[in-house]
Structure 1
């Protein structure tokens, strides 16, 4: 492999640029022998690659070049769409909603359940993705939920203290009671968490006796769902929005 010239870069940097993992996580994957370059396992993070090289991680291959521009997309995910790049059951994915207008390969940052709508970020910035989804950075997500019945003060206090689920206790949530619809016997609340357990908000509310009718994510860290957008629409983030996200996870 010819690693001379300005086109070469360290393997972990290439992996971050391609959206495979953050540089730190890439170094861990490399040290564990989980990364191959041109079919050969590489265990040294300082190993250099060129645009002609092929990187393989967990049986998925990536071309190390040419470099793609970093792209940041806000999608208003509708309910009934899967948060995935592909789906073996041929269900509509969030990538399908982008069509051919986004030329770069972008990936969802975290997940929204199939039946949940709202703000979803997609990007090819691996470092930002890693930090936004890693628990140690504590990025807050805010949801608006319609639940069955008039949610009690005791249920709210329980949610604010932490709920015991089958996969462990949740961290304390922030709850704001918005309104009650007497005709439908429903309550609308806002719930903020910084964890990302599978179907966590729905399970938390079910655990305290208030099943969810509708659930929509309205904030992800400093990023707010654009009120001008409708379900299924998307747009590129502004420079100030990208900078706010990076600042929230200490990327300088």
Structure 2
């Protein structure tokens, strides 16, 4: 039975479905000697080349894995870096016939919970804005934050790429000029949390992601280490109810 090319490659853990669609648009994938297009369907009989390298469909029969990684400050989320900086991928377990896909990114100065999976379809669902999955961060800021400033952050501040707002903001203590807050939002734009605070004139001195959906950063998981996640934990991520039911039914087949 033929399946859409991007779905097959995503399920094999090659990349997220959206990323593979970009590869198809860029002409990087061929099927039976012809450049693939969006909508191309393939089966086990077809010959697939990705960047002119053979890809075998039986790779899709491997068991997908998902892990939680405690990212330290100083690591970047790229697979390779021309400047030779430390990357998160060099600290993950080695795979055979699969590759890790990062569920979102954290900038070099942000630490905390980062999810990785070999399941491209899962990665796409966890990252897609329509899933409305909560991301919670512990933020340390320099200086006082008054009631009006908090209202701006929860009602919406204007950024270069649109309006952004926190779903919630709670005080979490602090000493001297430093104050901690726990903030929650449901999207993952580039440096969004930092830019929101900067928009109201407040500087972030430390930023830690402590939760993604229902998955929390394990306090016993040391910085730079990872742990395997079970299927019930993964499918418990706070995807919208209708989508979660459909996803769970699919996993049981």
Question: Is the structural similarity TM-score above 0.5?
Answer: yes
Equivalent residue for 1:21?
A: 16
Total equivalences in the alignment: 239
From the superposition, tell whether residues 54 and 77 of structure 1 become closer, same or farther in structure 2 (CA, over 3 Å): same
Alignment of 1:64-75 (within 5 A): 64-65=56-57, 66-67=59-60, 68-75=62-69
Per the alignment, residue 105 of structure 1 pairs with 99
Question: Deviation string for 1:34-92 (max 9, x for gaps)?
Answer: 54225412337362233873343xx5857233233201010000010001222222111
- Cα pair distance change 1:29/1:216, threshold 3 Å: closer
Residues 10 and 121 of structure 2 are in contact (CA less than 8 Å); yes or no, is this contact kept in structure 1?
yes
Aligned to 1:82, the other structure's residue is in SS state coil
Q: 1:91 to 1:43 in 2, by over 3 A?
A: same
Whole-Å separation in 1 of the counterparts to 2:237 and 2:123: 10
Q: Name the SS of the counterpart of 1:244 in structure 2.
A: coil
Q: Which residue of 1 aligns with 2:251?
A: none
Aligned residues of 2:131 and 2:239 also touching (Cα < 8 A)? no
TM-superposition CA deviations, 1:215-251 (whole Å, max 9, x none): 0000011111111111101011023212213855521
In 1: Cα distance, 2:103 partner to 2:206 partner: 22
Q: Deviations over 1:126-169 (max 9, x none)?
A: 11111111111111100001000122221111101111112221
Q: Distance in 2 between matches of 1:51 and 1:229?
A: 44
RMSD: 2.7
TM-score (norm 2): 0.83
Aligned residue number for residue 190 of structure 1: 182
Measure the CA separation in 2 of the matches of 1:69 and 1:51. 22
Q: Name the stretch that deviates more: 73-82 or 161-170.
A: 161-170
Say if 1:238 and 1:62 are closer, same or farther in 2 by CA, change over 3 A: farther
The match for 1:49 is 43
Where does 1:158-237 land on structure 2 (aligned, <5 Å)?
158-182=152-176, 185-237=177-229
Tell me what 1:96 maps to: 90
Distance 1:160 1:12 in 2: 37
Residue 3 (structure 1) aligns with: none
1:149 to 135, 143, 150: 143
Question: Is the Cα–Cα contact under 8 Å of residues 68 and 114 in structure 2 kept in the other structure?
Answer: yes
SS at match of 2:63: coil
Q: Contact conserved, 1:179 with 1:188, CA < 8 A, in 2? A: yes
Q: Give secondary structure in 2 for the equivalent of 1:155.
A: helix
